[in-house]
Structure 1
Amino acid sequence: MGVTILSFGRDLRVQDHPALARAGQEAGAEGGAVLPVFIVDPAVWSAPEASARQWRVVAEGLASLSAALAARGAPLQVEIGPPVEVLDRLAARWPVVRGLALGAQPPAEDWARRRGLPWRPVAAPRR
């Protein structure tokens, strides 16, 4: 039984989230589990254009997302560090078989490619 990493980026919702739906379908078909993750990259949040106000908005979104995912039995993992290091830590703890994200996440895609794992960016719905 493998684990599918679902990496959340800017879109912190559960309703109408195509990557979340696909992760559930793929993991469920194999009897696996979904590990929802949000990576707090210090390089992003220490950049001059990042602000405390932006972080407050993200933190509020993470709290709501965490509660919604916990209610569905898949609590959100909030991890701090460079994405590749975080993914390495997760892969050391869990039998990761694939990754999914809404939209492109180049560091994660490169990480998966080096490990021989599929990583699929799922297209965002048009609004």
Structure 2
Amino acid sequence: MKKKSSLKAVKKAGVKRGKAVTLSTRNARITQNLGNGFERFVFQPFTVLPGRFLTITLSSGTLRSVISAGWSISGLLPAYATDSFPARTNQWIIVIHNPTVFTRTVTPYLITKFT
């Protein structure tokens, strides 16, 4: 039986060329209470290889709604999000492209509100 290449499996799953990670607020390395039921979660950094994409799925759990999400990337070079949107009430997806020839680290952030 012939196995599919991992790149084909990733493309079939709807992920652009690169790595995909799924994070929950339970995995946050920093949690900040912003008041009035709002919280900011900062997650561990992930690497994104040169010329590749990193798809990050952020989940807030059942008692919190996602409000916004963001990211920072190492180095003073171009990078961009090809997608950044709320997929569900409690889930945000960001797809980041590293168009450079350098491996970089991306730190994701999530803002939620208690529902």
Q: Quick check: TM above 0.5?
A: no
Structure number, greater radius of gyration: 2
More strand by share: 2
More helix by share: 1
> Scaled by the length of structure 1, what TM-score is found?
0.28
